[in-house]
């Protein structure tokens, strides 16, 4: 099993290319099930979750081909993938596939809308809270679906004439459920209105792609999305937006180590709140023609309090990384997690490096220390794992991160990108 070895103490200088967003690519790939034409997606990251979803879509009958690689310094950092779901051969998404990645449950929306039925296993994924499927079921029921749960599977059927446009107000903001209901509603009869919908850039990106396929969606990026159902969707060509979580992660890494790095092919507007928190911590951040420049030279890391919230608030997917940054601040900071109830599993591992963190309910109190010391640590989920990398970059001596398959789910060539900027990071295979 692979591990990541880090020897801390080096500043970061150079250019880091930002990959396409995993959280955008996955729903875009699933949207290919809505049409029998070809959907071509550019800037798709090469990640374990993407490869797993390719297998799942293939199980439903999608024909998938990869070409048009974009080369940079001899390495490929993006792919163009063509998805053609001319014939849906199976409307069942089995447990052995869905249990490995929660987002694969989202196929229920397109399958139900296009085929009138779907049998999808209850999902798995990171162990960072229960994340129930209630909102998906309630929303699809509002579109006329009949849904039963039996033997660990969600069995859904549409009325004889297909799904029916309706109104659904999310009791709490859910990015995944917004994706699914928006996709399902594109082929429903009539108009659907989604209230208290997620406003994340990835939702806007999906709506942009669906509209290019012939959907009629308005209001994306606001809390009310209106979808006028159409008879069918066509193919399209769409470029996946930059990964704002990867952008924020590397920005925090530079703020942690010091240095001067250009984050290439990304946009500050995707994560204004997170970048503002990094500025308050002492980094200088500016938009350039090619991306975002992050600089921290000399000044220490200042303590900053944050609360995670749905977009445009501070992203929960950057909470662990920001905690890693705060471990070396010059005072006391507080991080309150409002999205997931079990997303502080990285605390004990950061403590192994010398961090001083105490928990009270959903709030972590971080007392900054002057020194972190390398140690063996274990990744517990995707975002927690990269918080250990950030801390390890500034720790004295060697940090060995195990269970890095979590990292491979969401960060494309992380060790290569950091090494090119002067970090001592390498993958070690046992």
Number of residues assigned to the chain: 430
Q: What are phi and psi of 152, to 5 degrees?
A: 80, 10
208 is in an annotated binding site: no
319/313 Cα distance (integer angstroms): 11
Does 50 carry a binding-site annotation? no
pLDDT at 405: 85
pLDDT value, residue 380: 81
Distance CA(348)–CA(156), nearest Å, equals 41
Superfamily grouping for domain 2-16+243-429: Enolpyruvate transferase domain (3.65.10.10)
> Rounded to an integer, what distance in angstroms lies between the CA atom of residue 138 and that of residue 147?
9
Catalytic residues: 126
Q: Which tens digit of pLDDT belongs to each residue from 32-71?
A: 999 999 999 999 999 989 999 999 999 999 999 997 444 4
Q: What span, in angstroms and rounded, lies between the C-alpha atoms of 392 and 411?
A: 17
**Full DSSP string of 91-111:** -EE-HHHHTT-GGGGGGHHHH
Give the separation between CA 101 and CA 127, rounded to whole angstroms: 11
Q: What is the structure's pLDDT at 100?
A: 81
Is 317 marked within a binding site?
Answer: yes
* Delimiting residues of CATH 3.65.10.10 domain(s) in the chain: 2-16+243-429, 24-239
Q: Give the pLDDT confidence of 74-83 residue by residue, as tens digits.
A: 444 679 999 9
Please tell me the predicted confidence (pLDDT) of residue 44. 96
271 annotated as ligand-binding:
no
Cα torsion 280, 285, 286, 287: sign = negative
pLDDT at 72: 43
pLDDT tens digits along 230-244? 999 999 999 999 999
For CA atoms 207, 213, 217, 219, the dihedral sign is positive
- Better-scored residue on pLDDT, 299 or 222: 222
Architecture of the structural domain at 24-239: Alpha-beta prism (3.65)
> What is the rounded distance in angstroms from the CA atom of residue 20 to the CA atom of residue 246?
9
Q: Strand, helix or coil at 158?
A: coil
425 known member of a binding site: no
Beta pairing, strands 12-17 & 259-264: parallel
Encode burial over 70-105: b for 16+ CB neighbours within 10 A, e otherwise: eeeeeeebbbbbbbbbeebeebbbebebbbbbbbbb
């Amino acid at each position: 099993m692979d591990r990541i070895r880090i020897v801390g103490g080096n500043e970061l200088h150079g250019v880091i290319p930002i990959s396409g967003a995993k959280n955008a690519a996955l729903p875009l790939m699933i949207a290919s099930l809505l049409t029998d034409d070809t959907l071509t997606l550019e800037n798709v990251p090469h990640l374990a979750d993407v490869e797993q979803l390719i297998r799942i879509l293939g199980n439903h009958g999608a024909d998938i081909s990869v070409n048009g690689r974009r080369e940079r310094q001899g390495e490929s950092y993006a792919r163009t993938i063509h998805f053609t779901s001319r014939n849906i051969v199976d409307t069942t998404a089995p447990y052995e596939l869905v249990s490995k990645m929660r987002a694969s449950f989202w196929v229920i929306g397109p399958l139900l809308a296009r085929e009138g039925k779907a049998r999808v296993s209850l999902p798995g994924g990171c162990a960072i809270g229960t994340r129930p499927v209630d909102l998906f079921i309630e929303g699809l029921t509002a579109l006329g679906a009949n849904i039963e749960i039996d033997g660990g599977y969600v069995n859904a059927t549409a009325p004889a004439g297909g799904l029916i446009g309706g109104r659904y107000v999310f009791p709490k903001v859910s990015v995944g459920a917004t994706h699914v209901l928006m996709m399902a509603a594109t082929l429903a009869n009539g108009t659907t209105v989604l209230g208290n919908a997620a406003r994340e850039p990835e939702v806007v990106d999906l709506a942009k792609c669906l509209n290019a396929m012939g959907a009629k969606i308005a209001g994306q990026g606001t809390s009310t999305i209106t979808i006028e159902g159409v008879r069918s969707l066509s193919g399209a060509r769409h470029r996946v937006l930059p990964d704002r979580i990867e952008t924020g992660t590397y920005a925090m890494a530079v703020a942690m180590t010091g240095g001067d790095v250009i984050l290439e092919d990304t946009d500050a507007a995707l994560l204004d709140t997170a970048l503002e928190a990094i500025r308050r911590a002492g980094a200088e951040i500016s938009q350039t023609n090619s991306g975002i420049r992050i600089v921290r030279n000399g000044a220490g890391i200042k303590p900053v309090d944050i609360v995670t919230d749905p977009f445009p608030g501070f992203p929960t997917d950057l909470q662990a990384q920001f905690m890693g940054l705060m471990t070396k601040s010059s005072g006391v900071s507080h991080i309150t997690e409002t999205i997931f109830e079990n997303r502080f599993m990285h605390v004990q591992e950061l403590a192994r490096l010398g961090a001083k963190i105490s928990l009270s309910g959903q709030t972590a109190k971080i007392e900054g220390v002057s020194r972190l010391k390398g140690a063996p640590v274990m990744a517990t989920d995707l975002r927690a794992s990269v918080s250990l990398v950030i801390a390890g970059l500034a720790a004295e001596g060697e940090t060995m991160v195990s269970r890095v398959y979590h990292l491979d789910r969401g960060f494309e060539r992380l060790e290569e990108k950091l090494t090119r900027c002067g970090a001592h990071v390498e993958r070690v295979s046992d």
